[in-house]
């Protein structure tokens, strides 16, 4: 069930989100002014229950229309939070009441889906993002509470964006500051742990344009879920790569006493602030950013297939849909124009889906950039990544690396217009979107 | 991804520190301007500067090759002619941080009767306004100090200060370099500060090919602008090839319409960038 405003007797909201400009201290020396949810960065964690309807009031106190997208939720297009699907914008200075029934369970998020249109003070360049955690109703054992001793939500964000020339000759966005949970490294309370404790990390990359790599020196991450969906193989890795809008649920066993930095693998990003201190009980001293054994930058790798079925299963698709990503140069002083199958949104016709059928989506990235490809209101199952077969990895965002092809199966089971796009804000703004429409 | 990471180092420094250093350097340059004097690279390094600086842990190696097809044919006050002179200049620029660099030049000349000759050397520190300040235009400030042998320039010690302003907008790019020069040793010491502006406008035909015009001039002393006859004026239709982030290629043919200008110059720049990444995270 999902409704927009217009009830004769609207229900009492379970949550209220106020969108407004705030001044936020990333550190004692760095303040920013940006739009945020309910006066904090990131927005408060919304804890919902799978299958239990929720009503959320959204108040827009900005001087421009806004819209909130419930990323990862299988909800109808009129409340999903994308105007391209038919969700209405929330006019400046007004409010709306959104009702939907959360599903699926897992780690998701809510964020603005307004176009920035090259304005670096809008869209995901602002602080409009927060964690949406949907607890499983019937099967709370998806992440067995017995498996962990404490749970930490980790939200990665980049701040103070500016345009700069990229090495490939096109304009790109870069940043001067970064944060975890709204604070720069060294300016938040540490995550306090005890030896032997198992800490469940719920990690979200809410950056507008940058993928990130997370490392906790000397520790390994046992990956339990990607984009909120449990993975068949809970592989342990030294480093997490989190593409834009991706979520990773990972368990860390605290077995290296000390004071550490859980932060970006790249020092330059840590220096900008992307890190948080992990402090073992009884330990003190300067937080350590690395130790022998920490993977070297040039050896950072990420393989989705490591989390798939040990023996990949095969499915025969009913339909194959090629989706070719290309760009068009528009000058060294302009952002590239992006195209899917040669068309920039809103040009081109919607891509048709057939209810109940298995669609093999073939993401062919012919550009020189990596792209976090997101499908609204559905999940897709990875079939192959750069030629390597897999199965059982269900996601709503996948990083398609430059020059590579990723295949994914989509079973069309949630009728209604569905937006498909690169989650990188400047790419979205430059046409990297398409609409899927049920035939 | 790697493209991004290679630029990350440019972003760490604090704005206040940059501003203080920038202001200090400007002040030092200003003092120098009233202390000393002349012409800098002449047609050894013919380039309109952009505001970008070389990133830290990066070295840019450039070769400037300039051939004067039609220029000064005779010795004047002991200074060698430029006619059919082939000038080769090696420029080595090292990025210091995200807002400064230092360049070093080795000037050479090869021409009939003189053979291959070392001409002189210059050093050129440069600071810029970091992009993170989000100024509407790129701004940097360069200064160049150096020596050239009297056989090639009567003014042997010279100094230049060069503000640089540029902007890329869509496919268009423009840059202006209103440079001021002073001679420290040579006949032009008494001329005071000279004005030698340069400017460029270009259009990106493709991602790899840009074409446009570069303009170079020397108006003489700012307190006594030379007559048009005695001014140097040169216009170069140019092509820039952006074939790789590691390579810089520029080619142009200059036309000098005034008597004081070499009438035809063919110039080329080829540059190669070398990155020296940190070994550790």
Subunit contact A333:B7, Cβ cutoff 8 A? no
Subunit contact A332:B204, Cβ cutoff 8 A? yes
Report how far residue B169's alpha carbon sits from residue A76's, in angstroms, rounded to the nearest whole number: 41
Residue A37 neighbours by CB under 8 Å, 6+ apart: A17, A18, A19, A43, A44, A110, A127, A128, A129, A130
Answer yes or no: are the C-beta atoms of A81 and A19 closer than 8 Å: no
What pLDDT score does A8 carry? 52
Determine how β-strand A358-365 pairs with β-strand A319-328.
Answer: parallel
* Cross-strand pairs, B219: none
Residue A405 to chain B, least CA–CA distance (Å): 17
Q: What is the pTM of this model?
A: 0.86
Tokens 């790899």, residue located: B208
Report how far residue B129's alpha carbon sits from residue B137's, in angstroms, rounded to the nearest whole number: 9
DSSP single-letter state for residue A183: B
Report how far residue B264's alpha carbon sits from residue B270's, in angstroms, rounded to the nearest whole number: 20
Q: Which residue of A has its CA nearest to B52?
A: A165
The encoded tokens of residue A177 equal: 């500051």
Candidates A212, A331, A369, A371: best to mutate against B (most CBs of B within 10 A) is A331
Candidates A32, A176, A299, A328: best to mutate against B (most CBs of B within 10 A) is A176
A contact set with B (CB within 8 A) = 120, 160, 162-172, 174-176, 210-211, 265-269, 271-272, 289-290, 294, 296-297, 329-334, 368, 370, 402
Answer yes or no: are the C-beta atoms of A268 and A249 closer than 8 Å: no
In this structure, whether the domain defined by A319-438 belongs to CATH 2.40.10.10 is answered with no
Find chain A residues with C-beta within 8 A of B6's C-beta: 167
Q: A171: number of CA atoms within 13 Å, CB side?
A: 21
Candidates A214, A272, A333, A400: best to mutate against B (most CBs of B within 10 A) is A333
- Whether chain A has a CB inside 8 Å of the CB on B6: the answer is yes
Subunit contact A160:B5, Cβ cutoff 8 A? no
What pLDDT score does A291 carry? 73
Report how far residue A390's alpha carbon sits from residue A407's, in angstroms, rounded to the nearest whole number: 10
Q: Cα-Cα-Cα-Cα dihedral of A140, A142, A143, A147, to 10°?
A: 90
Residue A212's H or E segment, with its range, is strand A212-215
- Whether chain A has a CB inside 8 Å of the CB on B134: the answer is yes
ipTM of the complex: 0.79
Q: What is the set of domains in chain B, with CATH numbers?
A: 2-275 (2.40.160.40)
Find chain A residues with C-beta within 8 A of B131's C-beta: 162-164, 174
Residue A109's H or E segment, with its range, is strand A106-112
What pLDDT score does A137 carry? 79
Task: For residue B32, name the pLDDT band (cuts at 50, 70, 90).
Answer: very low
Subunit contact A168:B245, Cβ cutoff 8 A? yes
Report how far residue A302's alpha carbon sits from residue A338's, in angstroms, rounded to the nearest whole number: 25
Tens digit of pLDDT for each residue in A240-296?
999 999 999 999 999 999 999 999 999 999 999 999 999 999 999 999 988 765 556
Q: Which of B1, B134, B204 sits opposite A162 (nearest CB)?
A: B134
* Cross-strand pairs, B88: B65, B108
Subunit contact A329:B204, Cβ cutoff 8 A? yes
**Neighbour tally for A44: CB within 10 Å:** 13
Subunit contact B131:A174, Cβ cutoff 8 A? yes
DSSP characters over A233-285: S--EESEEEE-TT-EEEEEEE--S-SEEEEEESSHHHHHHT-EEEEEETT--S
Q: Which of A176, A210, A268 sits opposite B132 (nearest CB)?
A: A176
Subunit contact A333:B173, Cβ cutoff 8 A? yes
Report how far residue B225's alpha carbon sits from residue B218's, in angstroms, rounded to the nearest whole number: 9
Interface of B with A in 238-257 (CB under 8 A): 242, 245
Tens digit of pLDDT for each residue in B40-80?
346 899 999 999 999 999 999 999 999 999 888 888 888 88
Decide if pLDDT at B18 tops 50.
no
Instruction: Single out the residue of A140, A261, A276, A280 nearest to residue A197, CA to CA.
Output: A280
The encoded tokens of residue A124 equal: 């995901």
Answer yes or no: are the C-beta atoms of A393 and A230 closer than 8 Å: no
Subunit contact B132:A170, Cβ cutoff 8 A? no
Rg of chain A, C-alpha, whole Å: 21
Q: From first to last of its 439 residues, what are the pLDDT tens digits of chain A?
A: 344 444 455 678 999 999 999 999 999 999 999 999 999 999 999 999 999 999 999 999 999 999 999 999 999 999 999 999 999 999 999 999 999 999 999 999 999 999 999 899 999 999 999 999 999 876 554 556 568 899 999 999 999 999 988 877 788 999 999 999 999 999 999 999 999 999 999 999 999 999 999 999 999 999 999 999 999 999 999 999 999 999 999 999 999 999 999 999 999 999 999 999 999 999 999 999 887 655 566 678 999 999 999 999 999 999 999 999 999 999 999 999 999 999 999 998 999 999 999 999 999 999 999 999 999 999 999 999 999 999 999 999 999 999 999 999 999 999 999 999 999 999 999 999 999 999 9
What pLDDT score does A20 carry? 98
DSSP single-letter state for residue A296: P
In this structure, whether the domain defined by A143-302 belongs to CATH 3.40.1390.10 is answered with no
Subunit contact B207:A272, Cβ cutoff 8 A? no
Report how far residue A343's alpha carbon sits from residue A324's, in angstroms, rounded to the nearest whole number: 10
Candidates B7, B9, B11: best to mutate against A (most CBs of A within 10 A) is B11
Find chain B residues with C-beta within 8 A of A266's C-beta: 5, 8, 281
Domain parsing of chain A, residue ranges: 2-138, 143-302, 319-438
Report how far residue A213's alpha carbon sits from residue A299's, in angstroms, rounded to the nearest whole number: 12
Tens digit of pLDDT for each residue in A385-433?
999 999 999 999 999 999 999 999 999 999 999 999 999 999 999 999 9
Q: Which of A168, A272, A294 sits opposite B11 (nearest CB)?
A: A272
Subunit contact A290:B280, Cβ cutoff 8 A? yes
Helix (H, G, I), strand (E, B) or coil at B251: strand
Number of CB pairs, chain A paired with chain B, less than 8 A apart: 96
Residue A345 phi/psi, 5° resolution?
-60, 140
Instruction: Single out the residue of A153, A212, A219, A203 nearest to residue A178, CA to CA.
Output: A212
* Cross-strand pairs, A253: A198
Report how far residue A406's alpha carbon sits from residue B109's, in angstroms, rounded to the nearest whole number: 56
Report how far residue B70's alpha carbon sits from residue B85's, in angstroms, rounded to the nearest whole number: 9
- Look at A278 and B21; give whichever has higher pLDDT: A278
Report how far residue B48's alpha carbon sits from residue B197's, in angstroms, rounded to the nearest whole number: 9
Fold identical between A2-138 and A143-302? yes
Subunit contact B168:A333, Cβ cutoff 8 A? yes
Report how far residue B105's alpha carbon sits from residue B93's, in angstroms, rounded to the nearest whole number: 9
Determine how β-strand A380-385 pairs with β-strand A358-365.
Answer: unpaired
Find chain B residues with C-beta within 8 A of A171's C-beta: 168
What pLDDT score does B279 carry? 57
The three-state (H, E, C) secondary structure of A345-405, written as one string = CCCCCCEEECCCCEEEEEEEECCCCCEEEEECCCCEEEEEECCEECCCCEECEEEECCCCE
Residue A170 neighbours by CB under 8 Å, 6+ apart: A327, A329, A332, A334, A335, A336, B207
The encoded tokens of residue A203 equal: 């990690």
Distances (CA, A) of A346 to A341, A343, A437: 12, 8, 14
Residue A57 to chain B, least CA–CA distance (Å): 36
Report how far residue B116's alpha carbon sits from residue B83's, in angstroms, rounded to the nearest whole number: 15
DSSP single-letter state for residue A142: G
Subunit contact A163:B167, Cβ cutoff 8 A? no
Decide if pLDDT at B33 tops 70.
no
Q: Which of A162, A210, A331 sits opposite B204 (nearest CB)?
A: A331
- Whether chain A has a CB inside 8 Å of the CB on B278: the answer is yes
| Mean pLDDT across B157-182 | 96
The encoded tokens of residue B276 equal: 């020296």
The encoded tokens of residue A217 equal: 């020196």
Report how far residue A137's alpha carbon sits from residue A165's, in angstroms, rounded to the nearest whole number: 48
Q: Which residue of B has its CA nearest to A399?
A: B1
Using alpha carbons only, what angle is made at residue A41 by residues B13 and A133, rounded to the nearest 5 degrees? 130
The torsion region of residue A140 among left (phi > 0), alpha (psi -120 to 50) and beta comes to: alpha
Distances (CA, A) of A289 to A176, A185, A188, A219, B211: 20, 11, 16, 12, 47
Q: B157: number of CA atoms within 13 Å, CB side?
A: 4
Q: Positive or negative CA dihedral for B13, B19, B25, B28?
A: negative
Q: Positive or negative CA dihedral for A295, A395, A405, A371?
A: negative
Subunit contact B3:A174, Cβ cutoff 8 A? no
Decide if pLDDT at B23 tops 60.
no
The encoded tokens of residue A102 equal: 């959360």
| Mean pLDDT across B88-111 | 96
| A2-138 homologous superfamily | Cupredoxins -  blue copper proteins (2.60.40.420)
Q: Which residue of A has its CA nearest to B245?
A: A167
Subunit contact A333:B172, Cβ cutoff 8 A? yes
Tokens 């200064």, residue located: B143
Find chain B residues with C-beta within 8 A of A290's C-beta: 280-281
Q: Which residue of A has its CA nearest to B16?
A: A29
Subunit contact A168:B280, Cβ cutoff 8 A? no
């Amino acid at each position: 069930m999902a409704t927009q405003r217009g009830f004769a007797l609207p229900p009492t909201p379970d949550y209220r989100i106020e969108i407004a400009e705030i001044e936020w201290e990333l550190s004692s020396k760095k303040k920013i002014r940006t739009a945020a949810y309910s006066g904090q960065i990131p927005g408060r964690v919304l804890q919902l229950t799978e299958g239990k309807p929720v009503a959320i009031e959204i108040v827009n106190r900005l001087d421009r229309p806004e819209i909130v997208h419930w990323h990862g939720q299988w909800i109808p297009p009129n409340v999903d939070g994308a105007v391209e699907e038919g969700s209405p914008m929330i006019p400046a200075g007004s409010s709306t009441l959104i009702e939907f029934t959360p599903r699926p369970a897992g780690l998701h998020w809510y964020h603005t889906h307004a176009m920035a249109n090259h304005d670096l003070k809008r869209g995901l360049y602002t602080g409009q993002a927060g964690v949406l955690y949907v607890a499983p109703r019937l099967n709370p054992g998806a992440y067995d509470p017995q498996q962990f001793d404490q749970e930490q939500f980790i939200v990665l964000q980049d701040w103070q964006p500016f345009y700069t020339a990229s090495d490939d000759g096109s304009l790109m966005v870069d940043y001067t500051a970064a944060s975890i949970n709204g604070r720069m490294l060294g300016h938040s309370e540490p995550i306090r742990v005890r030896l032997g404790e198992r800490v469940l990390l719920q990690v979200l990359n809410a950056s507008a344009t940058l993928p990130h790599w997370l490392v906790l020196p000397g520790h390994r991450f046992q990956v339990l879920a990607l984009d909120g969906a449990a993975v068949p193989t809970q592989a342990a890795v030294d480093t997490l790569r989190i593409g834009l809008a991706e979520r990773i649920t990972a368990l860390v066993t605290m077995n290296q006493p000390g004071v550490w930095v859980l932060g970006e693998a790249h020092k330059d990003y840590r220096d900008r602030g992307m890190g948080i201190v992990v402090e073992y009980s009884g330990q003190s001293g300067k937080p350590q950013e690395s130790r022998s054994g920490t993977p070297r930058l040039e050896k950072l790798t990420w393989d989705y297939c490591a989390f798939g079925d040990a023996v990949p299963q095969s499915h025969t698709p009913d339909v194959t849909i090629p989706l070719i990503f290309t760009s068009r140069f528009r000058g060294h002083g302009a952002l590239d124009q992006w195209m899917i199958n040669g068309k920039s949104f809103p040009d081109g016709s919607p891509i048709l889906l057939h209810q109940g059928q298995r669609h093999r989506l073939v993401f062919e990235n012919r550009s020189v950039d990596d792209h976090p490809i997101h499908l609204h209101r559905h999940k897709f199952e990875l079939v192959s990544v750069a030629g390597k077969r897999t199965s059982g990895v269900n996601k709503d965002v996948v990083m398609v690396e430059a020059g590579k092809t990723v295949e994914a199966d989509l079973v069309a089971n949630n009728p209604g217009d569905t937006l498909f796009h690169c989650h990188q804000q400047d790419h979205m703004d430059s046409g990297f979107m398409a609409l899927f429409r049920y035939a | 991804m790697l493209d991004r990471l290679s630029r990350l180092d440019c972003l760490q420094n604090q704005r206040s520190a940059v501003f203080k250093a920038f202001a200090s350097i400007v002040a030092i340059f200003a003092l120098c301007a009233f202390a000393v004097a002349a012409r800098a690279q002449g047609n050894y390094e013919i380039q309109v500067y952009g505001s970008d600086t070389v990133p830290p842990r990066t070295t840019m190696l450039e070769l400037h090759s300039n051939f004067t097809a039609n220029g000064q044919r005779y010795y004047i006050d002991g200074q060698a002619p430029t006619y059919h002179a082939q000038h080769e200049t090696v420029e080595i620029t090292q990025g210091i941080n995200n807002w400064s660099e230092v360049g070093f030049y080795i000037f050479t000349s090869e021409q009939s009767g003189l053979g291959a000759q070392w001409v002189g050397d210059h050093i050129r520190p440069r600071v810029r306004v970091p992009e993170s300040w989000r100024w509407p235009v790129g701004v940097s400030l360069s200064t160049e100090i150096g020596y050239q042998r009297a056989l090639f320039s009567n003014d042997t010690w010279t100094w230049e200060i060069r503000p640089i302003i540029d902007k890329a907008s869509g496919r268009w790019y423009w840059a202006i370099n209103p440079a001021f020069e002073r001679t420290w040793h040579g006949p032009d010491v008494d001329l005071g500060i000279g004005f030698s502006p340069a400017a460029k406008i270009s259009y990106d035909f493709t991602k790899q090919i840009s074409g446009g015009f570069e303009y170079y001039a020397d108006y003489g002393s700012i307190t006594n602008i030379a007559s048009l006859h005695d001014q140097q004026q040169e216009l170069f239709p140019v092509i820039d090839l952006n074939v790789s982030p590691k390579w810089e290629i520029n080619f142009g043919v200059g036309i000098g319409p005034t008597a004081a200008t070499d009438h035809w110059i063919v110039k080329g720049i080829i540059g190669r960038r070398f990155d020296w990444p940190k070994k550790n995270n």
